[in-house]
A and B are shown apart, each in its own frame.
Chain A
Amino acid sequence: MCMTDSAERIATNLRKGVLEFCVLGLLAQAERYGLELASDLQARGLIAGEGSLYPLLARMRDGGLVDTRTVAMGGGRPRKYYTITTAGHDQLATFAAVWRSVGAEVNTIIEGTA
Chain B
Amino acid sequence: MNAEDTYLRSVERMLSSIAPEHRADVLDDLRGHFADAEESGRPVDDIIRGLGTPADIAERAQEEFGVSRDADHARAERAWRVLQGAAVIISVVTGVVVAFIMPSFIEGPETTDTTQTLVSANGLWVALIALVPALIAAVPLVVPRRTRVVTSIIAGVVLTFMALVGGFTIGGFFLPSVLLTWTALFAWLSLRGRGVGIGWRIVGAVVTPLPVVASLAAFGVFPGPGRYADTAGPDVSLNAWAWPFLAVVLLLAVLIVLGYRTAGWVLAAIGLAVILLGLISGELMTMLFIWLGGIWITVGLAHAVTAPRR
Contacts and interface: CB of A to CB of B under 8 A. Distances in A.
A61 interface: yes
B36 A50 contact: no
Given A48-B52, A49-B52, A59 B22 contact: yes
Contacts of A42: 50
A50 B28 CA distance: 15
A58 B29 contact: yes
A59 B65 contact: yes
B51 interface: yes
Interface string B34-54: 011100100000000011111
B61 interface: yes
A79 interface: yes
A28 interface: no
B29 A49 contact: no
A76 to B, nearest CB: 11
A84 interface: no
A59 B202 CA distance: 31
B127 interface: no
B25 to A, nearest CB: 4
B35 A77 contact: yes
Interface string B283-297: 000000000000000
B51 A50 contact: yes
For the complex of A and B, the 8 pairs showing the least CB-CB separation, nearest first, are A49-B52, A51-B51, A55-B61, A59-B64, A52-B60, A35-B36, A58-B25, A54-B29
18 contacts: A34-B33, A35-B40, A38-B33, A48-B56, A49-B52, A49-B56, A50-B33, A51-B52, A51-B60, A54-B25, A55-B26, A55-B57, A55-B61, A56-B60, A59-B65, A62-B22, A77-B35, A80-B32
